[in-house]
Structure 1
Amino acid sequence: MESSCNAETLCHIITPVGMLGYGFDESLTKQALGSLKESPAPTALVLDSGSTDGGPLKLATGSMTAPRSAYERDFAKLLSLSHEFHVPVIISSAGGDGSDAHVDEFLDIIEEIVRDVRNKPYKFKVLAIYSSVPKAKVLEHLAAGEVEGCGSSVPPLTSADVERAGPIVAQMGHEPFLDAMIAQPDFDIIIGGRAYDPSPYIAYCAYQARQGFSLPLKALSTQQLGGFAFMGKIMECGALCSTPKSSSAMAKIYLDGTFDIVPLSMGSICTPTSVAAHTMYEKTRPDILPGPGGKLDLNSSQYEQLPDNRSVRVRGAKYISARELNLPYTVKLEGAKTVGYRTLIMGGIRDPILIGQIDSFLTRVKEFVKQQHSSLTEEWEVDFHVYGANGIMGAHEPGESSYRPREIFLVGEALASSQKLATSIASSARIACVHGPYPGQRGTSGNFAMGQGGKLEIEMGPCAEFCIYHLIPLKPGEEGASPILDGHDQDPAGTKGVAPLFSWKVVEFGSMEPWATESRLPEATASSSRREMRPLPTAHVGLNLSNPSKLQEIAPVIRSKNSGPYEITLDVLFSDETIYSLVKSSNLLTSATIARLYHLKDDEVIYCGFYDQAKAFKATILRKRKGQVRPSGGFMETDVHGSQQYAGLLELELSGDIRTSIRKIFSSNRERESTL
């Protein structure tokens, strides 16, 4: 990356992939590390491993986002890179949920790799940081009235929610990572529990400011911390900010908080618009991003294309500390509970006579199931996803209710207090779907094309639901981490008598460890790696500026994503400044428009506005199912990521004035080009 920044270079950070366990091309990272060998500025590999994107099952049952074999594969690559180039590896939110058990499981994976006979030279000092919160502490805050939902859509917390939850984790800020780094400056690897996504990035930058420039955390300005936090917020997704999006990214961070960012894939580039647009991704709003102990203010952020035409320089972000505003330092708690057991049935329906009356038919199916289980006292539920009609968007579907597809795919869900009962419910529903009569029926041998995967009923195990997504305040000193010595936490706050909420320990692997005689872990070689998915062409497909009629014809990006478990956010990005200004000054995209399209009440649109830096519009709405506010991933979930909910905007009709204005702009540009 070419640079004319006047500030001194602080460090470099490489993120090989936006989610550990998803696989990455280590040759790209190796090439980037090789290019930095002569740089005096330190370098680290930093990766996020967690999210609520995949739903609540991890927290409720102890499962992980990716299978253990996927983490073994990625760790084998990372440890090889760390050993070869002598760079630290920092990972947050182990296993997806960041529970203590998954921090320890990541330690086990590292130990197995180091003990492999092929890795005899390996020697690593690992710092493990834990983020679990005792239920007693949560109940204490609850009794004191100090717990509030993380957002207006989150229901109040109850003591029953706390008691029924599995492990409860708190999203760490940068302080626990920084405390551990300062105490053990010769660390090689850090495995962190649940953390705010930018936290390890902020911590590494703050650590290098302390080590290389004698600037302690308290001496860093709002611009410096703002730059570190904004860089982390972008980098934790890998090179998702590039166009076309790709997996791996590198940032060069300067002492004043300015940073440059570039994708490692040569088939992708960063542009000011693509980087600015990432501020909107999976956020409730694009300008103010809250986090542990403060907020990131992006209202003055600036984006500059660098001479290589692949890198973008970013400056102007500010980090506003809550305590500077006389507000408490808060952390977000996350927890989930098991609400029963689930069994599925799946199959297709092709008969147009039945498709034309599918709603009334499924009502009779439910009545049959109820009649067959009328003697039961246990609670149970059964419901259906009708794919091909409104299976994904449900009540938010903007299409005509009279629409009938040629075929539908039916997924029935049964939820009950035991797996046995859930399967009984599902079996009765399947039988009714297969053999239930309906007016005008011609095919009397069966209504339901079933047997996908060779099973008639598919037992899914526990069904989980988020029950804790709440903020608690911390006392000064609680936001850090204390070392675990001889099995006991030690309080470095000492004089204040306030024990940090988080803790960390040192684990050393290699050198004196006996090596395994057989190898069962994957080799970290370029030949065995799964190459990253190749970027697609950058041309905007489907735009029609000569005679547009719908929103999808003038906006190259229309997307949706969950913003936490209780919200879905919608983004519309424009590539042309004039068209963006035209839409912004019109009444095309408003809170009322979003409410109408998605069948919401006005107060169920949480945020609505334009963001000039990205030439974009954003709206955030409540996540609802069957007319009720529901968190992601529970019973009858249809889109846990929320990534298909944008479809309601694609067909939005443009007004006559907008159409005419765009046609004039397009014609004028075409005439100008023809005269050149």
Structure 2
Amino acid sequence: MSAFSRLAADWPGTDAPLRVLAASGQLGLGIPKAAFDAGIARAPHVIAADMGSIDPGPHYLGSGKMAAAPSMVRRDLAMVLRAARDLDVPLLIGSSGTAGAAPHLAEVAALLRSVAAELGLAFRLATIAADMPRDMVQAAEHANRLAPIGPITAQIAPSTHIVGQMGQRPFANALAAGADVILAGRACDTAPFAVVPVLLGYPKGPAVHMAKILECTSLCCEPGGRDAMLATLSGDGFSLESMNPSRAATPLSVAAHALYEQSDPTCVFEPEGHVDLSAARYTALDARCVHVSGAVWHDSAQPSVKVEAARPVGHRVAILAGVADPGFIAASSEILSAVCDLVAEMIPQTQDAPWTLQFRRYGIDGVLDWPTPPTTTPREVFLFGECIAPDLETARAVAAAARQHLLHWGFDGRLCTGGNLAFPITPPELDAGPAYAFSLYHIMQLDTWDALDALFPVTLHDIEKDRP
């Protein structure tokens, strides 16, 4: 009998308090131990964690590599796995390995097996793949069933990995199959947190609203952080409390979290439907704990899945340099443009070997353009140059040429010909490896719910003691 089966068999009903512990806002980047231990001491009925996102950029989806160090992933997995098995409660992890594609899921599963062998644990593991069949996505595009979410143009053929973002249904299928521990590929952030409450009969609106806030752990608190967070559902609402006593969940801080990653703070869309938060209520229970209610769930009439992909665009070399000369800083826009033009003359681009070179001036427009030029220029500016070319040799050649001409470029008022730039490290050109760009960020419409379930197959693995 699985951990979830035992929980469901003995559950007294939705008036009973159901405790869900969010262990980490992104598992593998370090779980603060004191707060996690405090959460475990509260005897949660479910432990869940999100592990991924596309926020770190297209590199991880394109390359199949994790953003987190394997040693840290292993540490965090050991903490949550030991706790879940000691308590005999379900452990659910979404978006394994950052981007949730096949290589990410396989690497995290291997680390989990290693941890289980070291700890001498036995349990049933479910892995849920999120890789989308390329021909299906292409067919959806041809049938006008692939709609862009933003400005990214679909480029399916060159994509290295294509994933779909699963909702609660695949997690529910895995729990029904007897899984104690679930490692899922790319998943909605809410899915691993909301599925057990929904299966136990708690209203779906509050359960998904809880999950939307809980998946970021204590980010919704004052001050915000990444410590473990405990949600307690009862009836048609839930309470939230950070397991770090220095953080407070207030009505304002929790309500404000509805703005996080949402274009509409009153509506949270999921593959199976959406949550309406227009009537949500936030009430302080004490100085550190908030009760939330009022969310309403609406089922979707037609199933759909968000698909994500990344494609290789070449090799990246970065240039790092600082500038403190006021004349160079004042003329930097013209200088950088002139240097880029000169390098293009020396290393001509061809149709078969295109390259790009761009600079960001941190202190002026590295993050955002100034709406109007400042009356006083910064005392120092950091230059970040980036060349992306078909191969490492070309990228290095372009970057080195640009660096050298910037170093000695003449400008009005220059006091010394020895050099315009200060390099924090040498060589100042860094090999940043293969470069990727997002090639899908679209909604794919499906015909049936069975078709949606088929996209996220569940595989069961019986993990036995002392068997890595």
Q: 1:455 aligns with which of 424, 427, 441?
A: 427
Gaps of 5+ in 2: 1-12
For residues 196-226 of structure 1, what are the alpha-carbon distances to aligned partners after superposition, in whole Å with 9 as ceiling and x for unaligned? 11112221112223xxxxxxxxxx7xxx111
Aligned-partner SS, 1:17: coil
Do structure 1's residue 236 and structure 2's residue 190 form an aligned pair? Answer: no
Cα deviation for residue 293 of structure 1 reads 2.5
Equivalent in the alignment of 2:63: 61
- Find the aligned partners of 2:251 and 2:389 in 1 and give their Cα distance: 51
Matches of residues 335-354 of structure 1 in structure 2 within 5 Å?
335-354=309-328
Do structure 1's residue 420 and structure 2's residue 393 form an aligned pair? Answer: yes
- Find the aligned partners of 2:299 and 2:105 in 1 and give their Cα distance: 29
Matches of residues 117-516 of structure 1 in structure 2 within 5 Å?
119-120=119-120, 122-150=121-149, 153-157=150-154, 161-184=155-178, 187-209=179-201, 224-246=203-225, 247-254=227-234, 256-306=235-285, 308-323=286-301, 328-374=302-348, 378-394=353-369, 397-450=370-423, 452-478=424-450, 481=453, 500-511=454-465, 513-514=466-467
- Count, aligned residues: 454
Cα deviation for residue 154 of structure 1 reads 2.8
Cα deviation for residue 472 of structure 1 reads 1.0
CA contact (8 A) 2:152 2:440 kept: no
Aligned-partner SS, 1:232: helix
Amino acid at match of 1:102: H
Aligned in 2, Cα 1:7/1:105: closer, same or farther, shift over 3 Å?
A: closer
Amino acid at match of 2:82: S
Cα deviation for residue 177 of structure 1 reads 0.5
Equivalent in the alignment of 1:213: none
Aligned in 2, Cα 1:140/1:7: closer, same or farther, shift over 3 Å?
A: closer
Aligned in 2, Cα 1:390/1:477: closer, same or farther, shift over 3 Å?
A: closer
Superposition RMSD in Å: 1.9
Cα deviation for residue 27 of structure 1 reads 3.6
Cα deviation for residue 227 of structure 1 reads 0.7
Equivalent in the alignment of 1:553: none
- Find the aligned partners of 1:227 and 1:471 in 2 and give their Cα distance: 25
- Find the aligned partners of 2:272 and 2:200 in 1 and give their Cα distance: 21
CA contact (8 A) 1:93 1:193 kept: yes
- Find the aligned partners of 1:178 and 1:10 in 2 and give their Cα distance: 21
The structure number with the bigger radius of gyration is 1
- Find the aligned partners of 1:305 and 1:266 in 2 and give their Cα distance: 16
- Find the aligned partners of 1:10 and 1:77 in 2 and give their Cα distance: 24
- Find the aligned partners of 1:70 and 1:258 in 2 and give their Cα distance: 35
For residues 250-273 of structure 1, what are the alpha-carbon distances to aligned partners after superposition, in whole Å with 9 as ceiling and x for unaligned? 01112x431111111111121111
Gaps of 5+ in 1: 1-5, 37-41, 210-219, 482-499, 516-676
- Find the aligned partners of 1:291 and 1:66 in 2 and give their Cα distance: 26
- Find the aligned partners of 1:374 and 1:471 in 2 and give their Cα distance: 39
Equivalent in the alignment of 2:46: 44
- Find the aligned partners of 2:398 and 2:428 in 1 and give their Cα distance: 13
Matches of residues 636-675 of structure 1 in structure 2 within 5 Å?
none
Higher-RCO chain (CA-CA 8 Å, sequence separation at least 6): 2
For residues 570-599 of structure 1, what are the alpha-carbon distances to aligned partners after superposition, in whole Å with 9 as ceiling and x for unaligned? xxxxxxxxxxxxxxxxxxxxxxxxxxxxxx
Aligned in 2, Cα 1:356/1:514: closer, same or farther, shift over 3 Å?
A: closer
For residues 471-506 of structure 1, what are the alpha-carbon distances to aligned partners after superposition, in whole Å with 9 as ceiling and x for unaligned? 11122233654xxxxxxxxxxxxxxxxxx2210111
Aligned-partner SS, 1:230: helix
Normalising by structure 1, we get a TM-score of 0.65
- Find the aligned partners of 2:437 and 2:198 in 1 and give their Cα distance: 37
- Find the aligned partners of 2:388 and 2:136 in 1 and give their Cα distance: 32
- Find the aligned partners of 2:46 and 2:284 in 1 and give their Cα distance: 24
For residues 49-83 of structure 1, what are the alpha-carbon distances to aligned partners after superposition, in whole Å with 9 as ceiling and x for unaligned? 11111011111111112111110110111122123
Cα deviation for residue 402 of structure 1 reads 4.8
Query: Percent identity at matched positions?
Result: 29
Matches of residues 557-636 of structure 1 in structure 2 within 5 Å?
none
Equivalent in the alignment of 1:564: none
Aligned in 2, Cα 1:508/1:453: closer, same or farther, shift over 3 Å?
A: farther
